[in-house]
Amino acid sequence: MLSGLGIYTKIMHEIETGEAHLPTLPDVALRIRRAMQHPNCDLATIEGIIQTDAGLSAHLIQMANSSLYRGWRETRDLKRAVSLFGQEMTRNLCLSYSLRAMFRHKTPTLRTLLQTAWKDSAHRAALSAVLAKQCRRISPDRALLAGLLQEIGLPLLYVRLEKHPETLDNSDIIHELAEDFSARISVTLLESWGFDDELLEVARSRHDWLRDDQSKPDLADVVLLATWHVRFLTDGAANGLPPLDRLPAYHRLKPGPISPGGTLEIFDDAVDIREIETTMTG
């Protein structure tokens, strides 16, 4: 039976030799990106692309009415939602929505693994967005996207297990893939999609709790704090996490007081977080 390292090594070898192809960006996200590269692109062009996907259209209207973005009056149509968000934010939110397609599979065992991974990603993304809104240094839509992209290599690793059916029920191998190799695959995939280095750093620094190589807060700091909370709320202190106030990212972002339970007080009111998660997983 192959180990997690063996599976990762085979994937990387096949990618490097051209035997395996990395997945492309989801179709709608790719069309919006290409449209925005054209100098004459406007909101009407982007709206026209989004209208071809009813689910995406509904998602953007729902996000426009969420507590994260809600204006002084209700958004009832796509035109107003796109106008509210603007080009960059609309692109980020569309990409965030479309990533869910990568976490679907017809095989029951893989479907369960991928659904769990997507729920974890949505939780991390929701925490990232709320934290970014609180700190006002990073745009919430970019933090949301970064939270979803941090583990984007995981579906590629999990789907690979289908070629080795004996590994599908092996929790040790699944854990090894997630813990030790998903960040490397995520970086490779994000590079192939042409994402900027700020988003690559989010994947690279995934569990680098004591990351302290810059003086100013950045996107990786936001997602790192969100990831810390996901781990803490899942496993508690038993997983060897350093206390929150030992993380340099906490001191750079200054996100507010720590609760008696050891987590950020801004996350105590979970309404905003649940609302965002619901829009991503519902």
For residues 1 and 166, is the Cβ–Cβ distance under 8 A?
yes
Tell me the per-residue pLDDT of 108-151, one tens digit each, with 9 for 90 and over.
Answer: 989 999 999 999 999 999 999 999 999 888 999 999 999 999 99
Cα 128 from chain centroid? 9
Q: Domain 4-19+100-281 carries which CATH code?
A: 1.10.3210.10
Cα 201 to Cα 218: distance, rounded to the nearest angstrom: 10
Say whether pLDDT at 273 is over 70: yes
pTM (2 d.p.):
0.93
Say whether pLDDT at 1 is over 80: no
Q: What angle do CA 183, 106, 178 make, to 5 degrees?
A: 20
Cα 96 to Cα 23: distance, rounded to the nearest angstrom: 16
CA distances from 223 to 78, 116, 129, 191, 269 (A): 29, 19, 9, 19, 19
Ranges of each domain in the chain? 4-19+100-281
Mean pLDDT along residues 165-184: 87
The residue with greater pLDDT, 193 or 7, is: 193
Say whether pLDDT at 171 is over 90: no
